[in-house]
């Protein structure tokens, strides 16, 4: 997708509207709000995008060639690596990185309050969604080499319309387009648009319309929100054998990891984030450091 002057202007305006939506949400002070701002801002500098399974992103040049999970994973691993590393699930065991179904499984497994273990909190009622929340749906049959579903970021607070459906702005990478989409007609890749969701008697999403001309889809849907992880909490990806690292001084933890012949890296140190690669490894330790001590450790 190449951007002409008219398209670039529409993207800029869309970005401004998205920024207004983000600032209006109660999620702005937490990691979810920062995630919303970062993902929304990338649209302003978008020059080229293609929907593809391989992630090829050059932020400086405005090139975003990726699929839906590649987009969400890139933003998480570069800005919220702990949230990225705790994405997990039993389906698609062949995967080398989180797929749409992995996001779906992770949100189902997350707790329902901001005091949950790990950096993810499950959001059940669709009307409670905020900018920066992540929504995923899965396909019924998970087949290697094929799409496992879809994952996107909520970019506005949902608004219930007269027919009972909730309209919401989303950002994703897709093969199609949504209503009021920033992607030029006939193009695929990263962009923003409007979708509609239906809910069940408990207010949980039970179906969706990808655009104003689409028919209803009834894929299983799950939503997650990033929340602050405070103190020496045990993340989902922390093994019991790794708890011995928690509380150690950074130098002592590094020495112990080397002595134990374990691969390791620091993903956060005194609030500074160090981006991680796309691939995950069950035999690698990831340290979160605070006040020169290991606050948390996650495998991945």
pLDDT in tens, 104-145: 999 999 977 554 556 999 999 999 999 999 999 999 989 998
- pTM of this structure: 0.87
The CATH architecture annotation of domain 240-299 reads 2-Layer Sandwich (3.30)
Mean pLDDT over the full length of the chain: 88
The predicted structure's pLDDT at residue 229: 82
The DSSP string of 110-131 is SBSSTTSSSSEEEE-SGGG--T
Confidence of residue 176 (pLDDT cuts 50, 70, 90): confident
- Indicate whether 210 pLDDT > 80: yes
The predicted structure's pLDDT at residue 232: 65
The predicted structure's pLDDT at residue 18: 43
The predicted structure's pLDDT at residue 282: 85
- Indicate whether 278 pLDDT > 90: no
Could you tell me where in the chain the CATH 3.30.10 domains are found?
Answer: 240-299
The predicted structure's pLDDT at residue 233: 60
pLDDT average, residue stretch 85-96: 91
Written as six digits, the tokens of 119 are 């950096």
The predicted structure's pLDDT at residue 112: 72
**157-161, 191-195, 211-215, 231-235: segment of lowest average pLDDT:** 231-235
Distance CA 69, CA 92 (A): 13
- On whether the CB atoms of residues 83 and 227 are closer than 8 A, the answer is no
Confidence of residue 185 (pLDDT cuts 50, 70, 90): confident
- On whether the CB atoms of residues 287 and 300 are closer than 8 A, the answer is no
Confidence of residue 52 (pLDDT cuts 50, 70, 90): very high
**CB-side neighbour CA atoms (13 Å) of 212:** 9
Confidence of residue 23 (pLDDT cuts 50, 70, 90): very low
Count Cβ atoms below 10 Å from residue 183 Cβ, excluding itself. Answer: 24
For the chain, the maximum distance between any two Cα atoms, rounded to a whole number of angstroms, is 64
- On whether the CB atoms of residues 189 and 51 are closer than 8 A, the answer is yes
Distance CA 7, CA 49 (A): 13
Share of the chain above pLDDT 70, in %: 86
The predicted structure's pLDDT at residue 136: 98
């Amino acid at each position: 997708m190449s951007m002409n002057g008219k398209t670039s202007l529409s993207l800029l305006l869309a970005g401004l509207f998205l920024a207004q939506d983000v600032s209006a949400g109660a999620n702005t002070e937490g990691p979810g709000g920062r995630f919303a701002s970062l993902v929304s801002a990338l649209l302003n500098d978008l020059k080229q995008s293609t929907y593809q399974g391989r992630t090829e992103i050059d932020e400086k040049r405005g090139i975003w060639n990726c699929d839906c999970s590649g987009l969400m994973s890139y933003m998480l691993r570069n800005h919220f690596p702990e949230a990225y590393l705790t994405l997990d699930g039993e389906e698609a065991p062949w995967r080398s990185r989180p797929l749409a179904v992995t996001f779906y499984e992770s949100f189902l497994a997350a707790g329902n309050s901001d005091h949950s273990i790990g950096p993810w909190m499950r959001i059940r009622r669709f009307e409670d969604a905020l900018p920066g929340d992540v929504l995923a749906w899965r396909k019924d049959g998970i087949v290697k080499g094929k799409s496992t579903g879809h994952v996107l970021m909520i970019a506005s607070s949902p608004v219930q319309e007269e027919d009972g459906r909730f309209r919401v702005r989303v950002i994703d990478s897709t093969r199609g387009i949504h209503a009021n989409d920033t992607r030029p007609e006939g193009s695929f890749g990263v962009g923003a648009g409007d979708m509609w969701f239906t809910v069940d008697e408990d207010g949980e999403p039970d179906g969706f319309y990808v655009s104003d001309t689409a028919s209803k889809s009834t894929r299983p849907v799950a939503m997650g929100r990033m929340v602050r992880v405070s103190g020496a909490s045990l993340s989902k990806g922390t093994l019991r054998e790794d708890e011995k690292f928690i509380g150690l001084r950074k130098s002592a933890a590094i020495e112990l990891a080397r002595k134990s012949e374990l691969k390791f890296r620091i993903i956060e140190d005194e609030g500074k984030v160090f981006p991680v690669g796309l691939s995950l490894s069950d035999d690698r330790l990831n340290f979160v450091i605070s006040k020169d001590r290991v606050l948390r450790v996650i495998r991945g």
